[in-house]
Amino acid sequence: MEVKPGYKQTEVGVIPEEWHVQRLGELGEALIGLTYKPSDVRQHGTLVLRSSNIQNDALAFDDNVFVDTDIPERIKVRPGDVLVCVRNGSRNLIGKTALLDERGLGMTFGAFMAVYRSPIGRLASYLFQSEILKRQINEHLGATINQITNKSLNSFRIPVSPDEAERDAIATALSDVDALLGWLDRLIAKKRDLKQAAMQQLLTGQTRLPGFSGAWEVKRLGDVLVRLNAKAYQIQTSDYQATGKYPVIDQGKEQVIGYSDNEEKCLRCPDGGVVVFGDHTCFVKFIAFDFLVGADGTQILLGKAGQNTRFHAFQLQYRGVEPTGYNRHFKFLKERAFAVPPLPEQAAIAAVLSDMDAELAALEARSDKTRDLKQAMMQELLTGKTRLV
């Protein structure tokens, strides 16, 4: 491969001529985490950071363990440390990292974790998220090894600019994208909470939309929805393809898994349908496009005459569906009773909640695009392909 002027080929790829390839151990050190006994665990004490404290490459405190034992000063975490999952039953978690900040002061980390401590910690945290280090970690794990030793961690190679200002500029640019992602995540969570509150108020009649009054009528689900024979729209895995006229949906995925041009099996419901997925875990989705079914365990429901299908999809999402085993969901569902407004109010409620769904979908799409942008930026900036002034 031809290398353009000002760049050189190295074991980590093409980098600027003045950059260096160095081992992590040359720029910092990897520390082994705390080994503690079950008897050391307390309701309060020193928080031990574990793999569950890393979510989306950031610190999370939803699942914590505290201990009461002597903690060597060396393994008390510091701002700028990179927390690394080095051993786990789930192979996918190995190599996951989070950059530690002031919130970690006074905390330590468990024996299945490591901390990489270095003056370039902020930059190193992004290198761990990049293909540069992910590739080396995967090569180290191979087919059977399910952990990263400190020796291996220190041996991993990274490209590094000799200019501290350039290193800081790269880390700052990527941190700005992380800040945007954090803001989007918080906004999405807030919008989800607002939608849940709106569902509670509107689907139970506690809050009425302007222009509507009068009592709701109690009906069984079987009075308002009818179940279709899902097998009539089911195709085999061998019939899927990457592109095609009609999407294929599958239980457990809650998304399109492929496409097919099978006209005969395609379900066409211009007003949309309620799809209940799963044998052992259930979730409900309103689908407003023509589709085919990819697996057993999927229930397809349509609104009867005088009923708004989307409204009843929201009802099922709000009230939940208990798993009862393949092909038995509707037998139990249809006997459930709840208050139902007249069709115009059903449509109005469905429209309000659909608008909230659309706003959530737009924010989630923006978040996904921003994450893709971050990956592209890491590839450009961490290898020096794009330079920052």
Give the chain's length: 389
- Average pLDDT over the chain reads 90
CB of 94 closer than 8 Å to CB of 85: yes
As a whole number of angstroms, the distance between CA 329 and CA 299 comes to 8
Q: pLDDT for 143-177, tens place per residue?
A: 677 889 999 999 999 999 999 999 999 999 999 99
pLDDT at 158: 97
Q: Which two tokens mark 249? A: 């949906």
Neighbours of 196 (CB within 10 A): 13
Q: Is the pLDDT of residue 334 over 70?
A: yes
| Residue type for position 288 | A
Highest mean pLDDT range out of 93-107, 132-146, 290-304?
Answer: 93-107
Q: What residue has token string 């009425």?
A: 208
Q: pLDDT for 50-93, tens place per residue?
A: 999 999 899 999 999 999 999 999 999 999 999 999 998 888 89
CA distances 126 to 113, 136, 168, 184, 330, Å, are 18, 14, 12, 19, 49
As a whole number of angstroms, the distance between CA 195 and CA 210 comes to 18
| Residue type for position 54 | I
Q: pLDDT band at 326, cuts 50/70/90?
A: very low
Q: What global pTM score does this model have? A: 0.84
Domains of the chain: 7-160 (3.90.220.20), 163-205+344-389 (1.10.287.1120), 217-340 (3.90.220.20)
pLDDT at 110: 95
Lowest mean pLDDT among 5-19, 192-206, 227-241: 227-241
Q: Is the pLDDT of residue 261 over 70?
A: yes
CA distances 343 to 332, 349, 362, Å, are 24, 10, 28
CA distances 112 to 35, 55, 76, 89, 127, Å, are 9, 16, 15, 10, 21
pLDDT at 228: 86
Nearest to residue 294, comparing CAs of 327, 258, 269? 258
CB of 21 closer than 8 Å to CB of 164: no
Lowest mean pLDDT among 2-6, 26-30, 368-372: 2-6
Q: Is the pLDDT of residue 279 over 60?
A: no
